[in-house]
Amino acid sequence: MTSTPTRRSQWQVNLWAIVAAELLTILAFHAALILVPYYIQQMGITDTRSVSSWTGAYQAVGAVAFAISTPIWGMLGDRYGRKLMLVRAMIATTIVLVLMGLARTPGQLLVMRVIQGFFTGTPAAASALVAVDAPKKRLAYSLGLVQTSVFVGASLGPMIGGYVADAWGYRATFFASAVLAGASLLVVSFFCARAGCPAGGCSQK
């Protein structure tokens, strides 16, 4: 007979699932991000100033969209649960990476970047879920692991993205990144058992 997981073991399962999923998601994001200037040139923009302008705009609009949307998603997370927000962010990341791989012009790529900024944001969602799920005495440790996964993913992403691009082309990197983001979504969906509702939060249906 199998025993029901204890509260302690369940939060650990949740934590490691989030850490693994966040590593995959950030790795996927940075694998594609590093190739944007070359991807723009492949679209027919060969003037170096134009490439620089498009690349700068790509970086800027994503950051602005993220800054605007993060408080909104945080408020919704308080009401409906932090796990739902993390799943939402990972679904959006997967879809947007596929659409970026299908983009034919820098303008289309820029629009996808705006959408990505508004609807993704997995590090904030992952940290919020861990913050409400981990025991207070292990909170700093848990959040530290999440941050470690972010930095490891950001470090490995460009290397893996460059390898995929050399082997199969720039577009293939976006599709491969989408597969990694999709895998992270499955990890969170199947292994994170709790909804991530803070005390007094989450609407009761």
Mean pLDDT score, 54-69? 93
Q: Please give the Cα distance from 80 to 68 (Å, whole number).
A: 20
In angstroms, rounded to a whole number, what is the distance separating the alpha carbons of residues 146 and 16?
Answer: 9
Domain carrying residue 104 = 14-191
Report if residue 7 sits inside a domain. no
Domain-located, residue 37 = yes
pTM: 0.88
Task: Read off the pLDDT of each residue in 175-194 and give the average, rounded to a whole number.
Answer: 91
| Residues contacting 142, CB < 8 A, separation 6+ | 15, 130, 134
Look at residue 201 in the predicted model and tell me its pLDDT.
58
Rounded distance, CA 98 to CA 94, Å? 6
Helix (H, G, I), strand (E, B) or coil at 169: coil
Residue 205's pLDDT band, with cuts at 50, 70 and 90, is: very low
Indicate whether 72 belongs to any domain. yes
5 assigned to some structural domain: no
Assigned domain for 6 exists: no
Where residue 200 falls among pLDDT bands split at 50, 70, 90? low
pLDDT band (50, 70, 90) for residue 3: very low
Q: Rounded to an integer, what distance in angstroms lies between the CA atom of residue 90 and that of residue 185?
A: 6
CATH of the domain at 120: 1.20.1250.20
Classify residue 176: in a domain, yes or no.
yes
Asked if residue 145 belongs to a domain, the reply is yes
pLDDT digits (tens, 9 = 90+) for 65-123: 999 999 999 899 888 889 999 999 999 999 999 999 999 999 999 999 999 999 998 99
Q: How many domains are there within the chain? A: 1
The three-point CA angle 39-111-91 to 5° equals 90
pLDDT tens profile 146-173: 999 999 999 999 999 999 999 999 999 9
196 belongs to a structural domain: no
